[in-house]
Amino acid sequence: MKKQLFLMAALCAFAFTSNAQTEKGKNLIGGSINLSSSKLLQDIQSQDLKTYGLSPSYGHFFFDNLAIGIRGNLNYLKNTVNFDVPNNTNGVITNGTSTTIQKQTIYSVGPFVRYYVDITERFKFFGQFDANVGFGKVHQDSNGINNTDDSKLTFYGTSISPNLAFFPTKKWAIELGFDLFSYSKRVYKQTTYKTTVDNFNFGFNTFSPSLGVNYHF
């Protein structure tokens, strides 16, 4: 009988500590990384796009399962575009290749809101809303020739993401998620021109998962 009572008490204590990870008054600190790669092949053009992201964050649980915090973002993008270019040499037409490499670096910061729902004692689902603003620069090389007139970049963005959190211990969470919907606005400024680009993305079309680790205390 004593063993059974001890076992029940231990299970109750474990369940309590598991649920207490996201209760009011707690905090979380950590971050996530994001990697993605895509290729586009057309008749005379190929495109290779790679993106890398690092996002440190801090949040506070103002209510049970509801955290509000701030998140920084460092994003790097490299886009390599190859064009087939016909060359006419002494009446003989041959195909050459023109290569343009564009690199973007963006620093941004903004608030986030996330809400947790229990699945099991160690697994939780949470939805997250982000908004951020930042700045950066764009550098472009064409056929190995540097473009010294880099563009300055102003960035505005927002996203909604579903995520899954696994708690191997009562204080550590490993998270996996992706942007279900995102919107970004980029304003490019150079010496002689200004360009604005709006971009809407739906996660099922541009799946780009992120992996994160957070410490709850």
Query: What confidence tens digit (pLDDT) does each residue in 156-189 have?
Result: 999 999 999 999 998 999 999 988 899 999 998 8
Rg of the chain over Cα atoms, rounded to whole angstroms, equals 24
pLDDT for the residue 27: 97
Question: In the chain, what percentage of residues exceed pLDDT 70?
Answer: 80
Task: Assign a CATH topology to domain 2-216.
Answer: Porin (2.40.160)
More confident residue, 41 or 9: 41
- Residue of 118, 208, 214, 131 lying closest to 168 (CA atoms): 214
Q: What per-residue confidence (pLDDT) applies to 75?
A: 93
pTM flag (> 0.85): no
Residue spans per domain, the chain: 2-216
Spatial contact of 126 and 176, defined as CB atoms under 8 Å apart: no
Give the number of other CB atoms < 10 A from CB of residue 212.
19
Q: Computed from CA positions of residues 108, 109, 110, 112, in that sequence, does the dihedral angle turn out positive or negative?
A: positive
Q: pLDDT for 190-201, tens place per residue?
A: 877 788 989 888
